[in-house]
Amino acid sequence: MPERIGTLVRLRRYPVKSMAGEDLQQARLNFAGVSGDRVYAYLDPEHGPPEFPWMTGRQGHDMILFRPRFLEAPPVETETPDTERFATEVTTPEGETFRMGDPRFTEFLEKRFDRRLRLRFSERSMTDARPISIFGLATIRELAAEVNLELDQRRFRGNLYVRWENDEPFFEDTLVGRELLVGDIVTMQVVKKNQRCIMIALDPDTGVSSPQVLARVMKDHGGCAGVYGAVLREGIVKVDDAIYLV
Kindly provide the residue ranges of all beta strands, DSSP E only, lying in 33-185, ordered along the sequence: 33-34, 40-43, 67-70, 88-91, 97-99, 118-121, 132-136, 160-164, 179-182
pLDDT category, 23, cuts 50, 70, 90? very high
pLDDT tens digits for range 163-192? 999 999 999 999 999 999 999 999 999 999
> pLDDT value at position 21?
97
Cα separation, 115 vs 44, in Å, equals 7
Domain 3-245 has CATH 2.40.33.20: yes
Nearest to 134 by CA among 184, 186, 90: 186
Average pLDDT over residues 225-239: 97
What confidence category does residue 160 fall into, taking pLDDT thresholds of 50, 70 and 90?
very high
Q: What is the CA radius of gyration of the chain?
A: 18
111 — pLDDT class (breaks 50, 70, 90): very high
Distance in angstroms (rounded) separating the CA atoms of residues 124 and 109: 23
Q: Which residues lie below 8 Å from residue 166, measured CB to CB, with a gap of 6+?
A: 5
Residues 30-56: tens digit of each pLDDT: 999 999 999 999 999 887 777 789 999
Distance CA 229, CA 222 (A): 19
Write down the domain spans for the chain: 3-245
Lowest mean pLDDT among 24-28, 82-86, 94-98, 114-118: 82-86
Q: Is the pLDDT of residue 228 over 80?
A: yes
Average pLDDT, whole number, for the chain?
Answer: 95
pLDDT of residue 184: 95
